[in-house]
């Protein structure tokens, strides 16, 4: 081998050795410090990420409710009245409460009549209104808590549109809704039985727009009623409640202003509004606008907004 080639080889081999001498590795302490800093940054970012996600879910929930409010207005425009809160007679054949002592079970909920305005004509056509409604899990858990009603309406009952689900609520069942006809009024009992109420909806109601003398922007139409709340409708948390089409003795599909929003009142089952949104719940007023109602809302203002003709001037703030 000639001399220039040998010199080149020596130079080529020696350079990596010199470079390796210039580098130093991380110590264990330095590595742990870096990991700790990353952990702190993640801890600081997570609440912001979770808050952003909830804001998105709340926005989607408000949009669902806005669609329901518009559907209500379209129904009223076509029929010159709002749909009934529920429809059926107290003598509707079959029972689901107290082993047959009452006959309020199986009434068809407000949402059944609203389906064509929700672009769900197929589900509407599948309902036989001459028979009781159906629920895969309905009624009061201590009596049955299982399937109830007329199986002829099972197909419709098992076809609930996603519009009726709140993204913030844990989804326990496929056919239990998170929104409820709200303005039964301020009574604590029982919209599936009474012949009139001071809100917008009750059994066989036919409220007209002219009946809202408090003003449409001062009167609740719909509120959230998350199906997965503690003992909602007397049914265990793990089973879900607030059936899509079925109304029973515990007033599924209604809400009352007798208690504050998100109140933990297990004995009143499904008769008050609740949600899984931090700090409150969404509501649709009779003008179809959507408001967020804080949990610490003044209870008098809250109850006044449930009545359609109480003469009150207080309203829920935007």
Residue 38: per-residue pLDDT:
86
Nearest to 304 by CA among 145, 186, 193: 186
Residue 100's pLDDT band, with cuts at 50, 70 and 90, is very low
Tens digit of each residue's pLDDT (9 = 90 or more) over 288-309: 999 999 888 888 889 899 999 9
Tens digit of each residue's pLDDT (9 = 90 or more) over 271-293: 778 888 988 999 999 999 999 99
State the maximum Cα–Cα separation within the chain, in Å, rounded to a whole number. Answer: 114
CA distance 43 to 49: 10
Please state the rounded mean pLDDT for residues 157-183: 87
Token look-up 């305005």 returns 117
Residue 205: per-residue pLDDT:
93
Please state the rounded mean pLDDT for residues 184-201: 84
Where is mean pLDDT largest: 26-30, 219-223, 224-228, 265-269?
A: 219-223
Burial degree of 208 (CB within 10 A; 0-12, 13-18, 19+):
exposed
Residue 69: per-residue pLDDT:
95
CB 135 within 8 A of CB 157: yes
Write out the two tokens for 247.
Answer: 């109304």
CA distance 210 to 148: 37
């Amino acid at each position: 081998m000639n001399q220039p080639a040998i010199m080149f080889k020596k130079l080529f081999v020696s350079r990596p050795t010199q470079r390796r001498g210039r580098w130093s590795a991380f110590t264990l302490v330095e590595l742990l410090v870096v990991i700790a800093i990353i952990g702190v940054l993640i801890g600081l970012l997570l609440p912001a990420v979770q808050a952003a996600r909830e804001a998105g879910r709340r926005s989607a929930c408000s949009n669902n409710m806005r669609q329901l409010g518009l559907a209500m207005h379209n129904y009223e425009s076509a029929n010159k009245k709002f749909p009934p809160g529920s429809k059926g007679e107290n003598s509707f054949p079959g029972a689901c409460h107290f082993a047959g002592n009452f006959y309020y079970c199986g009434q068809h909920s407000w949402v059944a009549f609203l389906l064509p305005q929700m672009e769900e004509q197929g589900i509407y056509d599948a309902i036989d209104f001459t028979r009781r409604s159906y629920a895969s899990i309905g009624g009061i858990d201590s009596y049955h808590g299982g399937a109830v009603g007329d199986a002829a309406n099972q197909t419709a009952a098992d076809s609930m549109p996603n519009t009726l689900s709140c993204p913030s609520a844990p989804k326990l069942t496929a056919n239990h809704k998170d929104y409820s006809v709200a303005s039964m009024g301020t009574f604590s009992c029982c919209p599936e039985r009474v012949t009139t109420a001071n809100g917008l909806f009750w059994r066989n109601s036919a409220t007209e727009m002219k009946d809202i003398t408090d003003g449409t922007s001062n009167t609740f139409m719909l509120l959230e009623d998350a199906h997965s709340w503690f003992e909602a409708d007397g049914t265990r948390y793990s089973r879900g409640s607030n059936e899509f089409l079925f109304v029973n003795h515990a007033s599924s599909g209604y809400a009352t202003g007798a208690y504050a929003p998100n109140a933990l009142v297990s004995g009143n089952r499904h008769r008050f509004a609740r949600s899984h949104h931090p700090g409150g719940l969404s509501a649709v007023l009779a003008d179809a606008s959507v408001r967020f109602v804080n949990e610490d809302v003044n209870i008098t203002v809250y109850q006044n907004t449930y009545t359609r003709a109480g003469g009150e001037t207080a309203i829920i703030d935007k």
